[in-house]
Chains A and B, each alone.
Chain A
């Protein structure tokens, strides 16, 4: 974990401030979490990818927080340069639309489809936003907390 750079003086802080992106950063021993608004998400990822070589979007996932969804992006670099960041953004449950990361990170393709499938968050500019794990005629989004469950 000594590779981590949690300080305010880290390069991404400055770059993001220069680009006028507002964010809040929280760190734990393993990660630094940047919370940004959905509108600034794409710009921030662009900076991280182009300027800091964080070319590897390892994982995208979404969490149901009731009235809001939180989407978490975990970014690394290949080959590893010690940088790692998690970007978080929150969107309202009623208007669950987010801009797709596909133009920057093609690996977002199926991962966003999965989130759309299971959590019901739409991604604009996605090339093929269709269900990926569940059948096309499936009703509902099972990973939402209010999804009806039978049995256990």
Chain B
């Protein structure tokens, strides 16, 4: 008999498929994965410490750099947390603008997810198709704030500027094309036999495990747990919108893909309703010139970001800077299950698992 040895192999931090600086150390037996250890921190920028020396308003661009693939969502979460701390009312129009931009961000993030899954599995063209469509959404962001990727468009009490002329028609154009885009992804990516063979039954995340490890967002819903903060704990004006929660049944990589594809369409539905109902009016609420929440006030505010539950814990010491800011980053928490779903699989499955867990390392490492 040949004697075989186990060996470790380092996937990352410099690796084409780790979505930034993720380092997964895999213990392998040939091509079979025995265990995975995840090492983080390669994109650590000490955002929480920085927040303690910035005013509440100054932190908004830092929030945008957390989940830089859907930058409007972390900004939204942060400004809503501060608004809770201050007790500020946000005007109707601003709320609607926030919903439209938030959902567009979600669509953009999911499109990038689909594309990056495709390229991680070797289908280069899938990525380009998704990027092509995502580009249209980036153009919409550029219309609102001049920034395409990391738009710090949200403000405490509203948004920084009113929607430009032609924005609503442009959004409607993108939304009406969404089903066509998703159909194209279905044909090129989801419908591909090889992709299905590589995703079906791979990286199964059991609902019990997912809940125990605090996995949220599309990853949790792919495991069949109907939990979405937009429905479970509606923030902003989300209770006004009508949309469905796409659910998976197996909790494997394919479910995580299809759930996101369906979410693209559901987000399109929400944006369509918001675009239809958006009222005229103010875009900024009455916010004090210097933002100084009362001493000792604290708040934990959570929103459904593209990756899951994005929470902001804020504690005020009465000054214009927060005494403590903590970000509950969904990418960070979701990555915890990577070893559990990768064990016993093949090396190539780790790549599919990382891609479908969809971590953004800027957010995971903060």
Chain A contact residues, CB within 8 Å of chain B: 28, 30-31, 55-59, 61, 63-64, 72, 74, 76, 78-80, 86, 105-107, 109-111, 114, 118, 131-135, 142-143, 147, 149, 152
Q: Is the CB of A107 within 8 A of B333?
A: yes
Q: Is the CB of A59 within 8 A of B311?
A: yes
List the A residue with the shortest CB-CB distance to B49. A142
B208-231 vs A, CB cutoff 8 Å, 1 = contact: the mask equals 000111100000100001110000
- Chain B residues contacting A63 (CB-CB under 8 Å) are 315, 323-324
Query: In whole angstroms, what is the CA distance A106 to B300 when docked?
Result: 21
Stretch at the interface among B39-47, B66-74, B343-351: B39-47
CB of A90, distance to nearest CB on chain B (Å) = 14
11 A-B residue pairings within 8 Å (CB atoms): A30-B84, A30-B300, A59-B311, A61-B324, A61-B328, A74-B313, A107-B214, A118-B48, A133-B40, A133-B41, A143-B48
- Whether a CB of chain A sits under 8 angstroms from the CB of B232 is yes
CB of A89, distance to nearest CB on chain B (Å) = 15
Query: In whole angstroms, what is the CA distance A86 to B300 when docked?
Result: 9
CB of B185, distance to nearest CB on chain A (Å) = 29
- Chain B residues contacting A58 (CB-CB under 8 Å) are 214, 300, 302, 309, 311, 328
Q: Is the CB of A79 within 8 A of B41?
A: no
Query: In whole angstroms, what is the CA distance A63 to B225 when docked?
Result: 32
Query: In whole angstroms, what is the CA distance A76 to B214 when docked?
Result: 10
Name A107's contact: one of B48, B213, B225, B302 (CB within 8 Å). B213
- Chain A residues contacting B123 (CB-CB under 8 Å) are none
- Chain B residues contacting A143 (CB-CB under 8 Å) are 48-49, 324
- Chain B residues contacting A105 (CB-CB under 8 Å) are 212, 214
Query: In whole angstroms, what is the CA distance A86 to B336 when docked?
Result: 23
- Chain B residues contacting A72 (CB-CB under 8 Å) are 298, 300, 313
List the A residue with the shortest CB-CB distance to B220. A78
List the B residue with the shortest CB-CB distance to A108. B214
